[in-house]
Amino acid sequence: MRNRVFVNAVDTCGHPLELVVVDGRFAEIGAKVHAGDGVEVVDLQGRVVLPGFVDGHIHLDKSFIGDRWHPHQTTTSLRERLAVEKRELAAAPPILERANALIRQAASFGTIAMRSHVDVDATTGLGNLHAVMEAREAWRGLVDIELVAFPQAGVLSCPGTAELLDAAIAEGAEVVGGIDPTNMDGDADGQLDVIFGIAEKRGAKIDIHLHEPGQQGIEQLHRIAVRAQALGMQGRVAVSHAYALGDVAPDVVDTVAASLAKAGVSIMTNAPGNRAFPPVLQLRAAGVRVFTGNDNIQDAWWPYGNGDMLQRAMLVGYRSGFYIDDDLHVALDMATDAAAAVLGGDYALRVGNAADFVVVDAPNAAAAVATAPLERTIFRQGAAWIGRALA
Amino acid sequence: MRNRVFVNAVDTCGHPLELVVVDGRFAEIGAKVHAGDGVEVVDLQGRVVLPGFVDGHIHLDKSFIGDRWHPHQTTTSLRERLAVEKRELAAAPPILERANALIRQAASFGTIAMRSHVDVDATTGLGNLHAVMEAREAWRGLVDIELVAFPQAGVLSCPGTAELLDAAIAEGAEVVGGIDPTNMDGDADGQLDVIFGIAEKRGAKIDIHLHEPGQQGIEQLHRIAVRAQALGMQGRVAVSHAYALGDVAPDVVDTVAASLAKAGVSIMTNAPGNRAFPPVLQLRAAGVRVFTGNDNIQDAWWPYGNGDMLQRAMLVGYRSGFYIDDDLHVALDMATDAAAAVLGGDYALRVGNAADFVVVDAPNAAAAVATAPLERTIFRQGAAWIGRALA
């Protein structure tokens, strides 16, 4: 592997940056590096260098990317939505084909790791999981993919699901999923008993979809925090969406945030378009890790999304009222380091790490987030990879 | 000028589309056209053809595009914000240079017409207007630019502004602006007397920035509707932002919407990220014309925006909860035909019109709005123009 020095770049703050890559890893990073003779020089033309993006929440088995356009269908209940989804997906190309298309598109924007939820329920069994595991194998070494066994249809209310979740972890999913324990199963402790039980038994992590609103959702977060702390699962439990945190008064947020921080429970938000969502800065100030992900991408749930985590960071900032550079950096952190910490990976620009990075046509990280330019080049182990051409 | 036939395209619904262009105008539009011999054939590779975009609200004198990154500065009052803006802009390149850069960028995304507000106040005088008028001349025939004399600092509270607004219209601005009559001037009827007076005297249109919240803003809308109707100005008065329509109960919206529709007052929203805004579908159902624009683009007010009206349509849909194709078409209409009607232009894909259109890498208009792909080609009078390369 040819050694390279990358010159004429800028760092997140817009300061001069050079990078030396030896054997695919960062050997030196600084304003002015000392490359040896005979290394290949790559001119980054004043562009900003960002770490590879980490998508903390995606559904690789659901997207229609790689298939024709599926017009969104209106439904009046969750049951109907799930039926529509099953019908639409049954008529779409196989999961492996669609998952590959979505991973390729996400990678072309600079995503190098992702946590994918995969439906596991009594009718689906482990079929979706096996297909997404096959896609994961195909991308091994290129995009790191962590899998969540996701009980989309509920746990207790969908007999057989508990056993399937356990089997999914045994077969290679790293994370036990959950969903709206009260609203889906009518028995919060019942669902939490099952998923925390599997996590404890298998040494798995936990990621719970929580759409429950207001005080109901807050109580659920307290329950989850208590269990995470009791089981010593700090840093291994996440709650996705947690809309309730956007519904309640700031002092209520502060109280539950203290519990979440103490229990090491992370919060994922994709900054939805027309729904209140967690107050990012307030949670971070309280010590809660907040990360982001694209969630649904052109699927039966909604038509938006393209897999780009830089655009997702922009939407997080746009929806959160992030104007100053420091806040824009928070949005980027949610799509890089914070998400990486949840997945357990280290994709930072640091000497010794794999030389994976994204070059974006912007003068610094704040500008990259605020404007999310599409022109970018992705480098994996120091070599240009699939990506959008530089303009 | 070489005649051309464009084949292998799709229309907004995804149906086959061909276009014949003769002497720069559409001569035939249909699923299967009859081009004569010897015309040049252009293969659009299955992409969707959209009309040119119309930005119904932009500030060409404010953006830092074309200059270095200006980190957003926090302020605690409107007065302070205006002072920061003046200071930052004084240190930036001349307006002509920045306006040219922004128009070029917007045009490269497919914008062919825009309504630009331009600051007019006692300290600025007509300086900004003259600079933007110079940019307008430079782009004449390429991008149609309508100008609003915008009293950013108030009318009555900023002595001399009324005379300057009148002079601005006399010199070539087509629209008299206004801003928060009660909050800025403490005298709603006083400000409205001035701006409606100038509009009546000069035959100008009106576009009022209205950030006033809740019931106060609703009362202002009623006042504006009453005046528009009394002066027979149907179709010539717009209110930008009108945040109040997002603050009040649906029945209050219905009542004022009926007044706005009867008076022919249009509403502009850019779908702000963290502020309630007008309910688009409810207003349209009541007969109100609702259009969109980018508003501030990387300026002293906020760091977001890139000038792309297709991304703006996506944000309108994202924020409004538009999921079904019909609703996504509404978002596109707000960025094309509805905005064009406010400006008084006709940029529709229609036989006889100039052959201006945008080719987007999407299978139909709904997909184009939901995903806002950047790859596109702009055609003006049938010829490829500045634009983003097809992927």
Residue B214: left (phi > 0), alpha (psi -120 to 50), or beta?
Answer: left
pLDDT band at B389 (very low <50, low <70, confident <90, very high): very low
Question: Chain B contact for A197, CB < 8 A?
Answer: no
pLDDT for B38 equals: 84
A2 confidence band (pLDDT: 50, 70, 90): confident
Closest CA to A175 of A56, A261, A260: A56
Reported as a pLDDT band with limits 50, 70 and 90, residue B387 is: low
CA dist A168 and A146 (Å) reads 13
Segment B2-31, tens digit of pLDDT:
799 999 999 999 999 999 999 999 999 999
Q: Both tokens of residue B41?
A: 């054939």
Residue contact B274–A318, C-beta within 8 A? yes
The confidence score (pLDDT) of residue A72 equals 97
Can you tell me the distance from the alpha carbon of A120 to that of A58, in angstroms, rounded to the nearest whole number?
15
What are φ and ψ of residue A103, in 5° steps?
-60, -45
Give the pLDDT of residue B117.
98
Average pLDDT over residues B115-120: 98
Find which of B84, B274, B386 to mutate to test the A interface (most A CBs within 10 Å of its CB). Answer: B274
Which residues in chain B touch residue A14, judged by CB atoms under 8 angstroms apart?
69
User: From residue A324, how far is each of A106, A278, A320, A349, A366 by CA, in Å?
Assistant: 27, 19, 12, 23, 8
Which residue in A has a C-alpha nearest to residue B320's C-alpha?
Answer: A274
Rounded distance between C-alpha atoms, residue B169 and residue B205, angstroms: 10
Instruction: Indicate the class that CATH gives domain B4-51+348-384.
Output: mainly beta
Q: Does A364 touch chain B (CB under 8 A)?
A: yes
pLDDT in tens, B311-346: 999 999 999 999 999 999 999 999 999 999 999 999
Q: Does B304 touch chain A (CB under 8 A)?
A: yes
pTM, full prediction = 0.97
Q: Kindly report the nearest CA distance between residue B309 and chain A, in angstroms.
A: 14
- A371/B contact by beta carbon, under 8 A: yes
B304 and A319: CB-CB below 8 Å?
Answer: no
Q: What is the mean pLDDT of chain B?
A: 95
A305 close contact with B: CB closer than 8 A? yes
Note the pLDDT tens digit of each residue in B240-288. 999 999 999 999 999 999 999 999 999 999 999 999 999 999 999 999 9
Chain A CB within 8 Å of residue B76 CB: no
pLDDT for A1: 59
Is the pLDDT reported for residue B36 higher than 90?
no
Residue pair B242/B267 in contact by the 8 Å Cβ criterion: yes
Enumerate the residues of chain B whose CB falls inside 8 A of the CB of residue A374: 374
Can you name the residues that pair with B291 across neighbouring β-strands?
B268
- Whether chain B has a CB inside 8 Å of the CB on A302: the answer is yes
Instruction: Give the pLDDT score at A307.
Output: 97
Q: At residue A387, does pLDDT exceed 70? A: no
Rounded mean pLDDT, A25-34:
95
Nearest CA-CA distance, residue A227 and chain B, Å:
34
ipTM of the complex as predicted: 0.96
Separation between Cα atoms, residue A116 and residue A173, nearest integer Å: 10
| 3-class DSSP string for A317-363 | HHHHCCCCHHHHHHHHHHCCHHHHHHHCCCCCCCCCCECCEEEECCC
B351: closest CA of chain A, how far (Å): 29
Residue A389 confidence (pLDDT) above 50? no
SS3 track for chain B? CCCEEEEEEECCCCCEEEEEEECCEEEEEECCCCCCCCCEEEECCCCEEEECEEEEEECCCCCCCCCCCCCCCCCCCHHHHHHHHHHHHHCCCCHHHHHHHHHHHHHHHCEEEEEEEEECECCCECHHHHHHHHHHHHCCCCCEEEEEEECCCCCCCCCCHHHHHHHHHHHCCCEEEEECHHHHHCCHHHHHHHHHHHHHHHCCEEEEEECCCHHHHHHHHHHHHHHHHHCCCCCCEEEEECCHHHHCCHHHHHHHHHHHHHHCEEEECCCCCCCCCCCHHHHHHCCCCEECCCECCCCCCCCCCCCCHHHHHHHHHHHHCCCCHHHHHHHHHHCCHHHHHHHCCCCCCCCCCECCEEEECCCCHHHHHHHCCCCEEEEECCEECCCCCCC
pLDDT (mean) for B185-203: 98
Q: Which helix (H) or strand (E) holds A384?
A: strand A383-384
| Residue type at B165 in one-letter notation | L
The reply to whether B328 touches chain A by the CB within 8 Å rule is yes
Report helix, strand or coil for A298: coil
Q: Which residues contact A88 (CB under 8 A, 6 or more apart)?
A: A64, A70, A73, A300
- The Cα B250–Cα B235 span in angstroms is 24
pLDDT tens digits, one per residue of B135-169: 999 999 899 999 999 999 999 999 999 999 999 99
Q: What whole-number percentage of chain B has pLDDT above 90? A: 94
Pick from A48, A68, A70, A72 the residue to mutate for testing the B interface (most B CBs within 10 Å): A72
Q: Quick check: do B4-51+348-384 and B53-343 share a fold?
A: no
Q: CB distance from B286 to chain A under 8 Å?
A: no
Domain boundary assignment for chain A: 4-51+349-384, 53-343
**What residues form DSSP beta bridges with B121?**
B125
Provide, as residue numbers in chain B, all residues whose Cβ is less than 8 Å from the Cβ of A317. Answer: 273, 304
Cα–Cα distance, A200 to A193 (Å, whole number): 10
Q: What pLDDT score does A264 carry?
A: 98
Q: Residue B243 corresponds to which tokens in the numbers above?
A: 């945040």
Please report, as a single letter, which amino acid is at residue A49. Answer: V
Closest by CA to A339, choosing from A380, A285, A390, A295, is: A295
Model confidence band, residue A138 (pLDDT cutoffs 50, 70, 90): very high
A36 confidence band (pLDDT: 50, 70, 90): confident
Residues A49-63: what's their mean pLDDT?
98
Which residue type sits at B217? Answer: G
pLDDT tens column, A272-314: 999 999 999 999 999 999 999 999 999 999 999 999 999 999 9
Place of tokens 């779908």: B271
Q: List pLDDT tens digits, range B174-183.
A: 999 999 999 9
Q: Is residue A58 very low, low, confident or very high in pLDDT (cuts 50, 70, 90)?
A: very high
Architecture category of domain A53-343 in CATH: Alpha-Beta Barrel (3.20)
B370 has which bridge partners? Answer: none
Q: Is the pLDDT of residue A390 over 80?
A: no
Cβ contacts (< 8 Å) between A298 and chain B: which residues?
370-371
Q: How far apart are CA B33 and CA B83, in angstroms?
A: 58
**How confident is the model at residue A37, as a pLDDT?**
83
Give CATH for domain A4-51+349-384.
2.30.40.10
How large is the average pLDDT for residues A327-344? 98
Weakest-pLDDT range from A244-248, B47-51, B122-126 = B122-126
- Please report residues of B whose CB lies closer than 8 A to that of A72: 323-325
Tell me which amino acid residue B69 is: W
Q: Is B1 a residue whose pLDDT tops 80? A: no
Gyration radius (Cα) of chain A, Å: 21
Chain B environment of A105 (Cβ under 8 Å): none
Average pLDDT over residues A38-52: 95
Region B32-54 average pLDDT: 93
Please report, rounded to a whole number, the percentage of residues in chain A having pLDDT higher than 70. 98
Encoded tokens for B338: 């509805």
Question: What span, in angstroms and rounded, lies between the C-alpha atoms of B165 and B193?
Answer: 13
Cβ-count burial of A122 within 10 angstroms (0-12 exposed, 13-18 middle, 19+ buried)?
middle
Provide the 3-class DSSP secondary structure of residue A14: coil
* pLDDT(B391) > 90: no
- Look over chain A and give the mean of its residue pLDDT values, rounded to a whole number: 95
Residue A23 confidence (pLDDT): 93
Q: Are B197 and B229 in contact (CB under 8 A)?
A: no
pLDDT at residue A378 greater than cutoff 90? yes
Q: Which amino acid is at A332?
A: L
